[in-house]
Structures are given as structure tokens and as C-alpha cells.
């Protein structure tokens, strides 16, 4: 599987979504796309994914942007499934820079196990129409 290209999406001079990256593609009943989305601010709720298929390249957009946020080459089985259903199942994992990024000051009292506290990682699952 080839790695997805990742671009920064800018709308009206401000960055809504810092980056989007396709982490995994699989074919089940539909084409399933796992997507990692980095936001700049925890209060940023402006995310509306769109998908298109041009030849063997699938592009994902945020909102009505003209520039694809991320794209990936599909193999023959994935193309057949995408063209048949004209829908993709999108599984999105949202992260916020600074909250889910790399820690610079780690505590010496590391707690792991069943009682360890972790930051919430919001996940979202939806069906997105595919423009062919």
C-alpha cells in the first residue's frame, strides 16, 4: 500500500484543519478509509469531508475546497468497490496540536495500567458520497 500525500488546508487565510492523512484502506462491504485529522484548536468544529475519484486516485477534501487535503492511489479491487457503491466509509481520528502531540516535559511518576488516565481521542465514523 502506498502512503497518502498530506497537505495543509487553508481557507480564507486561516487554517481550519492542520492536516489530514489516510492511515489505512480496506475493503469490507464498502471501501473503508481510516483518516487521521490534526486540528489547530480544540474549539475548531469546521470539518465536513468530501471525496472524489479521478482515475485510480481518491482525493479527500474538507468542505468546498478546490485543493485536495489528501490523496491516495487505489488498487483494482478498491476501485471496483468504490465505483460500485459510490460511497466510502470514513473513520476519522481527531487530534489537536499541543494536546495530543509529543510531550516535552515528562513526569517521573509514570502511571500505566488499568487506572492510568489518558486524554480523550475523539473518533468519528460516517458514510461519505464519492464523486466519480
The pLDDT assigned to 99 comes to 63
Question: Rounded to whole angstroms, how far apart are CA atoms 127 and 118?
Answer: 28
Q: What pLDDT digit, counting tens, does each position of 83-109 carry?
A: 999 999 999 998 877 665 555 666 666
Give the residue extent of every domain in the chain: 5-102+115-131
Do residues 39 and 94 lie in contact, with contact meaning Cβ atoms separated by under 8 Å? Answer: yes
pLDDT digits over 36-72, tens only? Answer: 988 877 777 778 889 999 999 999 988 877 777 889 9
Amino acid at each position: 500500500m502506498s502512503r497518502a500525500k498530506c497537505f495543509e488546508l487553508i481557507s480564507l487565510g486561516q487554517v481550519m484543519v492542520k492536516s489530514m492523512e489516510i492511515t489505512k484502506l480496506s475493503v469490507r462491504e464498502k471501501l473503508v478509509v481510516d483518516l487521521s485529522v490534526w486540528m489547530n484548536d480544540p474549539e475548531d468544529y469546521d470539518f465536513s469531508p468530501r471525496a472524489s475519484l479521478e482515475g485510480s486516485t481518491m482525493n479527500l477534501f474538507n468542505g468546498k475546497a478546490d485543493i485536495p487535503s489528501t490523496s491516495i492511489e487505489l488498487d483494482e479491487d478498491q476501485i471496483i468497490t468504490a465505483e460500485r457503491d459510490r460511497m466510502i466509509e470514513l473513520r476519522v481520528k481527531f487530534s489537536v496540536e499541543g494536546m495530543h502531540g509529543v510531550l516535552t516535559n515528562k513526569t517521573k511518576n509514570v502511571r500505566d495500567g488499568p487506572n492510568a488516565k489518558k486524554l480523550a481521542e475523539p473518533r468519528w465514523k460516517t458514510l461519505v458520497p464519492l464523486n466519480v
